[in-house]
Structure 1
Amino acid sequence: EVQVLLYGGTFPLLRPSRDCLEPLGDAFKPLLNAGNVDYALGSGIGFAMAWLCAGVPLNCPLLKPKLLLYEEAANRFQRPTFEWSVSSVRQLVLNLQKSPTNPTELKGDAFDEGSVLSTLDGNSRSMTLRDTSTLRLFLALIFLDKGCMVEMLGMLSNFAKPDVLTSRTYLRFLVIGLAGFEMGRENKDRSLIKLATKCLAYFKTLAKIGSLSATPIYYFIKAVSSPSRSSYDKAISLCREARLIHFEAMACERCGLFLEGKKHIDAANEYITTAFWLYSDWGATSKKSSMVQKYSFLKGSSRGSHTAQS
């Protein structure tokens, strides 16, 4: 139990989410064998959320079996909300690996948000909607779906506060911060700017005390809040150092779009091409396909100097 509390809550406040994966994964079976079902399943949810924050490749052979193991246990012990927490993450992964009609909807082989929510009410529905809206907003930021961003920000406006799982908090605050600044600026919506600023302040506090996990995220949101090539370069560099390949890809594409708006086309194309190969390294096949459709110059793109992260 202490291991789950430590690596699910305290440790990732300062250390990379990647460092929490093994301890959380190792805690599951001993806790389950001891009959501590809720803590065992909590370690599974912590593992899934830490994975999303860590940027470990989606096609790693460890991920799917782990998620299915947690889902099966939650089903066997009749803990449906635990099961849905994990299956929704698995659906997000499927959306990124395959090419669904709408990649920002959580509806597929692993999870159907609409069907699940229709069976819930009260606090269970509220918490499930919080988590699914976070995942959908993450997808909306990846696929640049502005309509979904605005919709999910509305769903999450009352959830800009930390919860017991730090990785879950990090992901929620990251996506609210990024989308809040982007949509707040575009739609001249001060309430979204205020919401995003609250999330930025959370990461700023942790960055000030030297948090290795929060610092790259802080500078990424900060770059989106006040875009410039230099601010994006700092965020990109920090994400690369922290091996946050997915956030680096998101920052590169946004820097490219920013430069495109400034008519610096060659530089813009270079950042977007870098993002394309980073998404490839992460295993986000459907995002790669959507980028080829959006950016015609990528059709003949070769790897060149765009090297993979280890």
Structure 2
Amino acid sequence: MHTIPLGHTDVAVSRLALGCMLMGTSTDEADSFAMLDRYLAAGGTFLDTADCYAWWPGPGFTGGESESLLGRWFARTGRRDEVFLATKGSAWVADPDAARAETLTDEEKYAGAGADTLRRALDGSLRRLGVDHVDLYYVHVDDRRTPLEETLEALAGLVAAGKTRYLGWSNVPTWRLERIRQLCDRYGWPAPVALQQEHTYLRRRPGDANLSIVDSQQLAYLRAHEDLTLVAYSPILKGVYDDVHKQRDLAQMRSYRGADTDARLAAVAKIAAELGVSGSVLVLAWVLHQRSPRRVALIGPRTPAQFDELMSASDLRLDDDVLRALDAAGA
């Protein structure tokens, strides 16, 4: 398993991170434990979860299930010290039923990034995980209601207390990220070392307002700031590269639809067929081959079979001709 430095820290993390979002809900405990065991056996070290994972699979789920499952796995295996553990706060949902019914705005739905909220959230995460600290703690959803100074000072306190080693941010536009970094520099607070955003081979269509997706401006910003590592979530867009129905119907595709995407999907289908791999594996390998900026690809398999298929991307070598063909595709 290849690794890359996390920002300018002295930590190296697996370039293929295991997302644990569905563990304990859509994925049962036996399959979850099997994937965790296989991931570490393959040399993987980077586990990703959040306090809100996962309230949305259906009634009875409230969030916290993924962290609790990881806590049971740590207790069973004693392997906490072998992993780089990331979790997130600020997107906790107090009323999952209303959230599932889509009757709440985002401001009403999410707990936010207030100082007391984050302190309580991380304490809850540590309790469910059964650990005394995490390695990386993200602000999961960018909270415009709370002054950044309040959020950043609280996060600095969590680092000082030893409850997290490093900080990250997710679902944030570039201008806010720059403001965060300026404030950290001004007040001597620890700055984020990881940026978790949606990132795949397809490019966000011009004019789309989804700020959770990396665009060309944000990639340029990351190239200029190597102390910040991109953690790419949804790199395979829920399997869209191998399913024409998802290409048509998946809600996430609203941000990508257009001639550019049609051309890129066609390129993936052609090259994947020539290489004898799935489109998902090809795209995941493409993400892993990118060097500027450096990036981690985050997979979230639901089954051990999906896990095994996606892990094969780490061994797929794409030659220069393939990479040029993929990069040149588009309208």
Do these two structures clear the TM 0.5 threshold for a shared fold by scoring above it? no
Which structure has more helix as a fraction of its residues? 1
TM-score range relative to shorter protein: 0.3 to 0.5
